[in-house]
A = this chain, B = another copy of it.
């Protein structure tokens, strides 16, 4: 991370080497994911990003604001999937929600990774967990509707099925990397294949 040359000449830009708000958010979240949010002080974060604390505070008023912005990015994405699939019939909505969730995870990998590591250590984290729970409950409702319709088997409890499906989806943060061997399309197709049809041939 190098200081911009004009930094010295143009005081207004001093201390903001190459980051806009969105780039800074991604870089900060990457540091949180690597070292832990609680374990990372603002000083340590600024040092890791090659910034002064003042430059960091130019974009975000606090570490908490960075956390809240990232968690909202992930949750807005997931909740958006539910909104966009609202008019899809139950038989197809579960597939559409799973596919949408994989795409949100692939497109917002650092933010979703952070969301999945949140443990409820602060008011911001507890609110995020509350939104995650509400999302899970809505998906469980979609599974239940498809079971009623007869398109999803009902010998697995709807909330257990939802947990297993999202266990599979969420585990992608452990190994999926953009630009790797599997792209988001292939990933979504594989998840849908295992989740809906299973691996056993017939």
For residue A39, which residue of chain B has the nearest CB? Answer: B39
Interface residues of A in 133-162 (CB under 8 A from B): 143, 150-153, 155-157, 160-161
Answer whether residue A182 sits at the interface, using C-beta atoms and an 8 A cutoff. yes
Classify the secondary structure of A's interface with B. helix
Answer whether residue A170 sits at the interface, using C-beta atoms and an 8 A cutoff. yes
Answer whether residue A172 sits at the interface, using C-beta atoms and an 8 A cutoff. yes
- Complex interface: chain B residues within 8 A of A164 (CB): 168, 171, 190-191, 194
Does the CB pair A193–B153 fall under 8 Å?
Answer: yes
Does the CB pair A194–B151 fall under 8 Å?
Answer: no
Interface residues of A in 48-105 (CB under 8 A from B): 94
Docked complex Cα distance between A177 and B36 (Å) = 25
For residue A191, which residue of chain B has the nearest CB? Answer: B164
Docked complex Cα distance between A143 and B174 (Å) = 20
Answer whether residue A196 sits at the interface, using C-beta atoms and an 8 A cutoff. yes
Does the CB pair B193–A196 fall under 8 Å?
Answer: no
- Complex interface: chain B residues within 8 A of A200 (CB): 151-153, 196-197
Not counting A153-B201, A163-B171, A197-B200, a sample of 4 additional A-B residue pairs whose C-beta atoms are within 8 angstroms of each other reads A161-B199, A163-B175, A164-B191, A168-B168
